[in-house]
Amino acid sequence: MPDRELTVFHLYADTLNLYGDFGNVQALRRRCEWRGIGCRVENVGIGHAADFRDCDLLFVGGGQDRAQSLVADDLVKHGEVIRERVEDGMVALAVCGGFQLLGRSFLTSEGVTLPGIGVFAADTVAGTGRLIGDVVVDCGATPHEWLRDGGDATLVGFENHSGHTRLDPGLEPLGRVVCGYGNEGAGSFEGAVYRHCIGTYLHGSLLPKNPWLADRLIATALEQRFGTGAPFPPLDDRLERLAHERAVAHCRA
């Protein structure tokens, strides 16, 4: 039995799972197991009771507008406790539709406003066209020390969304767009970071293509649960780095 175990809550796995988002949870589980760290994944669906005090790392994937409308009201029921846990330091990753629902609101193309839970001080409005393609994001200038790994802090992924997400002043983006559209379609900034919670439009899956980010999420969750100083050995990521570098080169070509 591992002497350390993390608990991952996967919200609405059967509803919000576009473009390989489930692979993010698989990457977290594998990278824990390869280090001898236990990783328990709990799927939290609509109407499920869940004690978020047990959650070390929260993941919410993306979905089409209809899928988001199915889960929005249920997510609001968990909103207060999720916000409290984020303030306590819980680690979270929300992709695309999940990112939008962790903001304050999403105005769909049909004119329906879906409520968010306000983890991020941001609002999303659907645009008239879709923002589709490969993305490269530079996170090197992030003010969030827990995201810095001292190396190449770029992210690669794939975006397909109509939402234009505007961050309030003071809410930091995840990074600067090198290639792609980003939050507002203008190719300036991508995603958002609040405490240990990340919102992003990057599908693909994100974490297998960006192992440094997966490790920062895991390491931070371990520190929150067990304190600092616990062993966290590096992994052989040569294949992952090669895939990452080729994705960067392809997007910039």
pLDDT 10s digits, 214-253: 999 999 999 999 998 878 999 999 999 999 999 999 887 7
* Average pLDDT over all residues of the chain: 93
Residue 96 is among the residues annotated as catalytic for this protein = yes
- Tell me which fold the domain 5-252 belongs to: Rossmann fold (3.40.50)
Tokens of 150: 């001292």
Average pLDDT over residues 104-122: 96
Q: Where are the domains of the chain?
A: 5-252
75 in Cβ contact with 117 (< 8 Å) = yes
pLDDT 10s digits, 27-79: 999 999 999 999 999 999 999 999 999 999 999 999 888 899 999 999 999 99
Phi and psi torsions of 57, nearest 5°: -145, 120
Tokens of 88: 């306590």
Angle (CA) 7-11-12 rounded to 5° is: 145
Marked catalytic residue, from 96, 139, 179, 197: 96
Over 80: is that where the pLDDT of 143 sits? no
Average pLDDT over residues 73-89: 97
What integer pLDDT is reported at residue 149 of this predicted model?
61
Rounded distance between C-alpha atoms, residue 59 and residue 11, angstroms: 6
Marked catalytic residue, from 78, 196, 203, 244: 203
pLDDT 10s digits, 170-206: 999 999 999 999 999 988 999 999 999 999 999 989 9
pTM summary value:
0.96
